[in-house]
Amino acid sequence: MLSAAQRLRRREDFAATIRTGRRAGRGAVVVHFDVPDDAPSATGARSDIAPAPTERADFSVRAGFVVPKTVGKAVVRNKVRRRLRHLIRERLAALPPGATVVVRALPGAAERTFVELAADLDAALLSARNRRPRRSRREGT
């Protein structure tokens, strides 16, 4: 189970990650990955100032899941969500501080084995982390 500090819950958080983050799809999952510009580096400090101890909670890695009805009925969707939650929990420590991840299950996720789902998630996370950030439409014009 993910702690409350590690979960995305608000619609605005999901929308911001999907809108500004990097996207990569592999197999039965699509991963949206976003790291804010003011997040601390891997050493735990921002380049200009060291964060106060109370600020560090703001830079926890958070994850959210989208499992649409096309995946299956409620029991199947909850099973897929539990599997994805378990898989992402093991991978949160490897992500940079302040990152947000939204994992969207595709219709084939229910038929995937746990190992196949893990491989899809790993490949999608790796691809999303290595991609360049999206440009907004306003920047291009």
Local confidence band at 47 (pLDDT 50, 70, 90 cut-offs): very low
User: Residue 44 pLDDT more than 50?
Assistant: no
Helix axes 74-91, 114-130, angle to 10 degrees: 60
Could you tell me the pTM of the whole model? Answer: 0.78
Q: Are 83 and 49 in contact (CB under 8 A)?
A: no
User: Residue 55 pLDDT more than 70?
Assistant: no
Locate the domains of the chain by residue range.
Answer: 4-35+60-132
More confident residue, 52 or 59: 59
- Sheet containing 100-105: order of strands: 22-26, 29-34, 100-105, 62-66
Query: What's the CATH code, domain 4-35+60-132?
Result: 3.30.230.10
pLDDT tens, position by position, 67-121: 999 999 999 999 999 999 999 998 998 899 989 999 999 999 999 999 999 999 9
